[in-house]
Amino acid sequence: MKATGTGIVVGATGGIGGACARALADRAARVLLCGRRRELLTELAAELGPAAAPVVADIATAEGRKTVATAVEEPLRWVVLAHGLALRKPLVELEGAEIEAVFAANLVGPALLLGELLRVEWAEPRAIVVVGSISASRALPNRAVYGATKAGIEHLARSLAAELGPAGFRVNIVAPGVVGTPFLGEDREALAHWVASRVPTGRIGRPDEVAEVVRYLVADAPAYLTGGRIAVDGGAEAIA
């Protein structure tokens, strides 16, 4: 069946967001690839073909959110929120501007963007997938602010599942564990040691493994599956 409507991947320049864009490239007639880095978005759009449209926008700003919303030209079918900023510091070392920037990028901006997108026309499957984090449910050193933003966006998604269910929307969460992307930054080696000793699978995950679950929730999950949270973490939460 020919794909119709519009899909959106927010954070398409990230490792997980890019993998989600690749996994979902055939699930809408037009897929908006949203992010802040024009060159990476252009390269990804060229890879995915004519259905992919790069949208350079920072959703932490009102201008960026408006840019995304106005780029929707056909009924919106699904949205994947894979955008986020990392912040790994003790709270005592953080400046107010750092904290505000992470909340704006990881929680406030996405919430306001969803509010705008819910005002446009939608068509089935009416799916929203939020990429959270196991940091939302695990208390980790130097992750207090980042974990708080992820806990907030996960709770927002659960609340929206209850709020939007009567209108036919499905809202679900995918919570990655340690996944091999540039997001790990300078912590990659330390996290690799932690994974080797504390994660049942004994390895770092791949972005495509997260994207496969996102694709399922967008394209293949039953209509009764909403408000769910799937941890793609190699079993880390199972032995918390």
Q: Residue 93 in contact with residue 44, Cβ under 8 Å?
A: no
Q: Residue 146 in contact with residue 103, Cβ under 8 Å?
A: no
Task: Single out the catalytic residue among 122, 146, 169, 183.
Answer: 146
216 among known catalytic residues: no
Distance (Å, whole) CA 83 – CA 41: 14
Tokens describing residue 137 = 């449910």
State the angle between helix axes of 96-103 and 144-164 in degrees (0 to 180), rounded to the nearest 10: 30
Cis (ω within 30 of 0) for the bond into 50?
Answer: no
CB atoms near residue 4 (< 10 Å): 14
Q: How many whole angstroms from its chain centre is CA 133?
A: 9
Catalytic residue list: 146
